[in-house]
Structure formats: C-alpha cells, structure tokens
Structure 1
C-alpha cells in the first residue's frame, strides 16, 4: 500500500488563497471548511501556506493587526511532494518536517503548480 503513488489518494480540488487576502478572512475560510491548512497560490504557483493552528494562535495573542495580509504571515518555502512520489515517501517527508508545523498536510506540486494536497488522514485511510 505504501508503494502507491500520491496522485492516487490526494485531494485534487484544493481550497487556496492568495497572498493579498486578509489573515482574518483566510482564517474564517479555514474554520468554515474545517481544514487545517490553506496553500497560498499566485497564478497556480504555490508560494506559501498558512495553518489554522498558527493563525488561530496568533490571532488570540493579538499578534496581527487588522489588515494583516496572508503574505506577511505565510510559511515559505513550502515543503511539498510530487504526485509521482510514493505514499511512503510522503510519510517520510512529513516525518522529517515535523518542526515546520505542516505535519498533517502536504501540498502536491508538479512543475511548480499546485495539483493537490495529501493529508495524514488520507494516508491513514489508505493504510487501514
């Protein structure tokens, strides 16, 4: 099962945001859709990512002013995986990048373009 390709289990219809969006609006999008991360895309190219944990924590601590843009707080560079990578490779990438805060979501990128996202839940569901 771990030798299956990421493209076989990834989510292709990925919710994204642009870098000029207000952080509060992006956080609302995360909460409304019950997702933990939001890739930041410009012209289909992945340029960053924000997480609900980071944004929510910092909003609570009043670290953002009204009007703070996603560009100011997004994580970059983004750890990604190729659609042709195996699930095992994706697991290793997630494990090796725990400190980046993106443990449970991994954007899938091909030729610089965001083509999907794979989550720890996708992987667990595939294994079990």
Structure 2
C-alpha cells in the first residue's frame, strides 16, 4: 500500500485535480471530507468530461469544462475500501473482478493509504 496518499477535498476544483494527477504521475485520487473517504476521482473521469481533443487551445477548454463541474459531480461515490489487514490476495481479487483500479485503505473510516493495480504488480515482480 502507498501510505503518503495524495487526496482531494470535496471543495477542491478539477483544475487542482489535474495538477495533482500530472505532478505526481498518478491515476487515482481519493476524495475526502475530514480524512473520511467520500469518493474517488480517476484521471479517466477527467478525460470523460474534457473536450480538449476538439480544439487547439487545450488549456482554455479544460478551464471552461472544469469550472462547469465540481469534484463531487465527477467523482465515483460509494467507493469500495479495504483495511490495512486485508490480504494481498483479497485486494487483488477485488480489483480483478471490478471495473476500477484503486482501493483506498481506511482505518476507523479514516484514509491511511491506497492500493492500486500498479502496487500489486510491483509487489508481484519483487517477490516472484
């Protein structure tokens, strides 16, 4: 699990989300309210609402589109979470049988980490 999780607040905007995706080269960001996971935003979610490919001035279009939506409107709600004592096999099974690629790790409802398909592949390569 990755422990130093990059997270968004429900009050952040989508431009901040895009900045974080690009700066940290990540594809999934938990959305929190007082460290409690309330949603998940993926880079793909941003791509779905972006019209950047339809114009030469990508930044202006993204700014207009991003200002038309809130994080809460775009994020996935009802996020599947796991705990720190969830086994690697259980986490892999959840991800293998789901349409998403990241699991926030929570303890007493609070975000403490994230497990992604990339994390599982790195673990597999290191240990096998």
CA 1:30–1:65 in 2, change beyond 3 Å: closer, same or farther? closer
Kindly report structure 1 stretches of 4+ aligned residues shifted beyond 3 Å.
Answer: 61-65
CA RMSD, Structure 1 to Structure 2 (Å)? 1.8
For structure 2, the 5+ residue unaligned runs are 53-60
- In structure 2, the residue matched to 1:88 is 89
Q: How many Å separate the matches in 2 of 1:92 and 1:20?
A: 33
- Which protein has the larger Cα radius of gyration, Structure 1 or Structure 2? 2
Q: How many Å separate the matches in 1 of 2:23 and 2:12?
A: 16
How far 1:60 sits from its partner (Å)? 2.5
Task: Say yes or no: does 1:31 pair with 2:15.
Answer: no
- In structure 1, the residue matched to 2:77 is 76
Higher-helix-fraction structure: 2
- In structure 2, the residue matched to 1:119 is 116
Work out the number of aligned pairs and report it. Answer: 115
Question: Contact 1:22–1:67 (CA<8 Å) still a contact in 2?
Answer: no
Q: How many Å separate the matches in 1 of 2:66 and 2:117?
A: 32
Task: Say yes or no: does 1:12 pair with 2:9.
Answer: no
Q: Please, what TM-score do these two structures have when normalized by structure 2? A: 0.81
| Secondary structure in structure 1 of the residue aligned to 2:8 | coil
